[in-house]
Amino acid sequence: MAATTVSLIAVPGVPLIRPGDDLAAILIAAIAAADLALRERDVLVLAQKIVSKAEGRYVDLADVSPSPRARRLAEETGKDPRLVEIILGESDEIVRYRRDILIAAHRLGFVMANAGVDQSNIEHPSGDGRVLLLPRDPDGTCAQLRQRLEAHFGVALAVLINDSFGRAWRNGVVGVALGASGLPALADMVGEPDLFGRPLRVTQIALADEIAAAASLVMGQAAEGRPAVLVRGVDWGARPERPARALIRPKETDLFR
């Protein structure tokens, strides 16, 4: 990672996104309008919310009939039973729960609060609530968006989707990569020879998570004004591309589940 300066630049003028919107076209227009001449290996980081919205990943709570299991879990967590039903439908496993907390393993492998089901910043025209699920295939969507952007701008790019995750032992949330294309989401760094002369040790850097966290500094969290951030200057050398799913620790090696 040989860069000496990295820039995080909000892409201005991204409108509110609606189901069915052509996100690639919208991003291309915003980038062009802002005169942000894209460079080789620029990384475009997109907030999960705009990807989910373009995919129409809304669920109206009024349409949900909670199962007995969802009702029990709702009682124990103090959450809406319909929301819990949706979370169960998105998850492979409930990892931990207590009052106000429900940590699930999403079907895509992410261990996160509420399986990523989002109640905030959602317009609810009907008066009743609706929630927003994670994108269907974040790595695949990144690859598609990247292809469209590269075809238009004529340079090799990377695309990330980020979201905010809590952590087991630390307060507060940080930006994390849900999807990635065009960069090594997990990058092998050859370290120094170890203390006892054993072969070189390899450290794996969660490069896409570090970029996702950096982009969050510009996106902010509460509002949706800056859902696309250009990260310029990250140098991953000749390391091969790996998707964000490479960042998910396999359950077999998980010491905390």
Residues in 142-181 that interact with a second copy by CB under 8 A: 164, 167-176
Binding residue for a second copy (CB under 8 A) from 10, 74, 87, 161? Answer: 10
Provide the residue type at 72 as one letter.
Answer: R
Binding residue for a second copy (CB under 8 A) from 131, 149, 157, 161? Answer: 131
The CB-of-164 to a second copy minimum distance in angstroms stands at: 8
Which residue lies nearer to a second copy by CB, 56 or 193? 193
Q: Which SS3 state, helix, strand or coil, does residue 164 take?
A: strand
Of 23-31, 50-58, 85-93, 194-202, the segment contacting a second copy by CB under 8 A is 194-202
> CA 123 to CA 203: how far, in whole Å?
43
> Any contact of residue 21 with a second copy (CB under 8 A)?
no
> CA 31 to CA 87: how far, in whole Å?
35
| Residues 29-58 interacting with a second copy (rule: CB under 8 A) | none
Of 13-21, 45-53, 137-145, 226-234, the segment contacting a second copy by CB under 8 A is 226-234
69-88 footprint of a second copy as x/- string (CB under 8 A): -----------x--------
Q: Which SS3 state, helix, strand or coil, does residue 212 take?
A: helix
Which residue lies nearer to a second copy by CB, 142 or 178? 178
Binding residue for a second copy (CB under 8 A) from 104, 187, 227, 243? Answer: 187
Of 51-59, 63-71, 114-122, 147-155, the segment contacting a second copy by CB under 8 A is 114-122
> Any contact of residue 126 with a second copy (CB under 8 A)?
no
Residue 232 in tokens: 């310029």
The CB-of-151 to a second copy minimum distance in angstroms stands at: 27
| Residues 228-257 interacting with a second copy (rule: CB under 8 A) | 233-234, 246-249, 254-257
> Any contact of residue 216 with a second copy (CB under 8 A)?
yes
> CA 236 to CA 183: how far, in whole Å?
8
Alpha-carbon Rg for the chain, nearest whole angstrom, is 19
Residues ≥6 apart with Cβ < 8 Å to 198: none
Tell me the pairing of strands 202-205 and 91-98. Answer: unpaired
Beta carbons of 98 and 75 less than 8 angstroms apart: no
Number of CB atoms found within 10 A of residue 134's CB: 25
Residue 211 in tokens: 């970029």
Which residue lies nearer to a second copy by CB, 151 or 189? 189
Number of CB atoms found within 10 A of residue 245's CB: 18
H-run or E-run covering 162: strand 158-165
Binding residue for a second copy (CB under 8 A) from 214, 227, 228, 243? Answer: 214
Q: Which residue has the tokens 């894209």?
A: 38
> CA 117 to CA 201: how far, in whole Å?
39
Which residue lies nearer to a second copy by CB, 96 or 136? 96
Binding residue for a second copy (CB under 8 A) from 119, 137, 150, 239? Answer: 119
